[in-house]
Amino acid sequence: MKIQPASAAFTVLLGLLAAVPYSGIDINLPALAATGAALGASPSHVGLTMSAFMLSLAMAPLIYGPISDRVGRKPVVVFGLALFVIASLACAAAQSLPMLLLCRAVQGVGAASTTTTYAIIRDLFDEASARAKIGGIVVTVNVVTVIAPTAGAALLAIGGWRLIYACQAAVGVMLIAIVLWGMAESAKTVAERRLGASAVFKDYLRIVTHPVSLAFILIGAAAGSAVFAYVTGSSLYFIGVVGLQPKQYGLIFSACSAAVMLGAFLDGRLGRQGFAPADVLTVGLVLSFAAAGTMLVTTLAGWSPPALVAALLMVVALSFGLSLPNLMNATMQPLPDIAGAVGAAAGTVQMTAGAIASGLVALLFDGRTALAMAAVMAASALLALTLYLRFGRSAGRPTWVSSV
């Protein structure tokens, strides 16, 4: 029996699929040192496995998106998950760091297929229903990101770092079974559409020349960069400067993830009460800049107690939860016939921008303050708000922002 798209079970399934790329990062974090010890490599070199995974995760959707627009979402997801399973088993069996790096890159290519999740939502739901579904996915993804590091540490203690990859493979097999037997095809494929380089180029040309989709892709990338900056900078600050233990820092990180979930939940409630998505998005972007800007000002003034920094990070996380469902909805709505390509472009741009933001935080970190994190977060939040006020609100008329 197929899972009904309107059901909570379908939302959870899409959320689990969307969480595959994030879990592929978070669950392995506790095992970097143990992996390096087993393979005769330093933890910093093993950290390159994260870079390999994220690089392929950023680029592979550009291929999956146009394919899913032509052959359907379901075959793409199943193929990607199968590749993810094979690569996870290969990671578990790797005997050298170069082999592990290669397998992690392939694992990222497989995981990237689940970025078609937002295209599936665009296929099946109208604007109001899609907003609620995306909010549910955001909640599920953040539940997984909270659980994943703890699960990774437990698996490491039980059976070593290889067991972590074996469990990822098992999860992949489970998701393949559910998708095959429980999920119907959502895309309205057009048989005569060719899948050639020129056709794919035309799809992406349509996206970058479409005022609404391009505006919201850039806004989403800027807003997401603030989150990537705090993910990188918070550990450097709270552990390296404040001196918190990893478990104590984990509580702060979990609180930020809970704040994202709360924001998505509030957006869903506001939507059901008739609040326009543009209004909620405006509040979210303003709130993000206000919190990040406050952190920057207080840090420059030499007064940034850790409790205040943690509270401001939670506000930024809350605002991201409020904003994300509306950003993704606005990005996907204008070009329904190539929703897969739109989602792929949005994901790639956001991941690339986030990697740049993370790199800047690490590069500028002074070892004494939260200045690097605060500066990159404030700049990213300001850019998102500026782009929205300058291009997003006007680009969305008359369909998306007419209610503002």
Contact of 162 with 92, CB cutoff 8 Å: yes
pLDDT of residue 189: 64
How many Å apart are CA 322 and CA 182, to the nearest integer?
30
- What are the domain boundaries of the chain? 1-183, 196-399
Q: Model pTM?
A: 0.80
Contact of 113 with 64, CB cutoff 8 Å: yes
pLDDT of residue 211: 87
Long-range contacts of 170-176 (CB under 8 A, 24+ apart): 171/20, 171/23, 172/20, 172/81, 172/82, 172/84, 172/85, 172/88, 172/110, 173/85, 175/16, 175/17, 175/20, 175/81, 176/78, 176/81, 176/82, 176/85
pLDDT of residue 111: 94
**Sites in the chain below the pLDDT cut of 50:** 191, 396-404
State the amino acid at position 122 in one-letter form: R
Long-range contacts of 128-131 (CB under 8 A, 24+ apart): 128/271, 129/6, 130/329, 130/332, 130/333, 131/267, 131/268, 131/271, 131/277, 131/325, 131/326, 131/329
Contact of 130 with 332, CB cutoff 8 Å: yes
Structural domain 196-399, CATH architecture: Up-down Bundle (1.20)
State the amino acid at position 193 in one-letter form: R
Residue 399, token pair as written in the block: 């369909």
Q: Identify which of 207, 384, 199, 206 has the alpha carbon closest to the alpha carbon of residue 291.
A: 384
Helix (H) or strand (E) holding 316, with range, is helix 306-332
pLDDT of residue 107: 96
> What is each CA distance from 220 to 251, 314, 323, in whole angstroms?
27, 19, 9
State the amino acid at position 176 in one-letter form: I
pLDDT of residue 397: 47
Share above pLDDT 90 across residues of the chain, in percent, rounded to a whole number: 43
Q: Which CATH number fits domain 1-183: 1.20.1250.20, 3.40.50.150, 1.10.1530.10, 3.40.50.920?
A: 1.20.1250.20
Same fold, 1-183 and 196-399: yes
Cα 71 to chain centroid distance, Å, stands at 25
Mind listing the pLDDT tens digit for each residue in 66-98? 888 888 899 999 999 999 999 999 999 999 999
Q: Going by C-beta distance under 8 Å and a sequence separation of 6 or more, which residues neighbour residue 230?
A: 256, 313, 316, 317, 373, 377
